[in-house]
Amino acid sequence: MYCRVVQHKSLINKIILASFFLVFLSGCDSGINSSSSEVKPLYKSTTLYKNKNCLELNNELSYLEIEIQKMATLVDTSKRHQDYKLSLGWILIPSYFFIGNNEDEAHKLSILKGEHDAILRSLKSRQC
């Protein structure tokens, strides 16, 4: 009788231990956490820029390049912070609950890169 109780406790302990690790390991795959160089541009149509002249397009292009640089810095900073949290997660298991991703920032950067490409295509089609 005593042997059966020990076997059940051992089985219960294994189940608890396995579920404990599954819960914490689920935080490892918290989505996209990419650097700014890995972000691909989102396609934008050039019709937004068809009524603008070459000077306006160049001004818009220079403004977008500044915004892209700011957002790229934000994406890279966010990635670096998440990587630090992940490295701490190996030491302090509860930190896995606070590991996020930089998916929102990366999406905004991809939109800006897409607008930048659309302006470049407009400039090329107008031979500016």
Question: When comparing pLDDT for 84 and 7, which is higher?
Answer: 84
What is the reported pLDDT for 96?
A: 59
What is the reported pLDDT for 99?
A: 66
Q: Are residues 11 and 37 in the same domain?
A: no
pLDDT digits (tens, 9 = 90+) for 97-106: 666 778 889 9
Q: Are residues 11 and 40 in the same domain?
A: no
**Full domain range(s) for residue 24:** 1-30
Question: When comparing pLDDT for 10 and 75, which is higher?
Answer: 75
Q: Tell me how far apart the alpha carbons of residues 122 and 115 are, in angstroms, rounded to a whole number.
A: 10
- Number of domains, the chain: 2
Q: Are residues 72 and 62 in the same domain?
A: yes
Alpha-carbon dihedral angle through residues 57, 62, 68, 69, given to the nearest 10 degrees? 170
Q: Are residues 12 and 35 in the same domain?
A: no
Q: Are residues 60 and 2 in the same domain?
A: no
Supply the DSSP symbol for 43.
P
Angle of helix 103-126 versus helix 54-89 axis, rounded to 10: 160
Compute the 3-state secondary structure of the chain and give helix, strand, coil in percent, each to the nearest 5: 75, 0, 25
High-pLDDT (> 70) share of the chain, %: 65
Q: Is the pLDDT of residue 32 over 70?
A: no
Q: Are residues 79 and 111 in the same domain?
A: yes
Q: Are residues 55 and 18 in the same domain?
A: no
- Residue at token pair 């189940």: 15
Q: Are residues 76 and 19 in the same domain?
A: no
Q: How confident is the model at residue 34 (pLDDT cuts 50, 70, 90)?
A: confident
* pTM strictly above 0.75: no
What is the reported pLDDT for 29?
A: 46
Q: Are residues 16 and 52 in the same domain?
A: no
Q: Are residues 71 and 122 in the same domain?
A: yes
Q: Are residues 48 and 63 in the same domain?
A: yes
- Neighbouring CB atoms inside 10 A of 12's CB total 10
118's enclosing H/E stretch is: helix 103-126
Beta strands in 1-128 (DSSP E): none
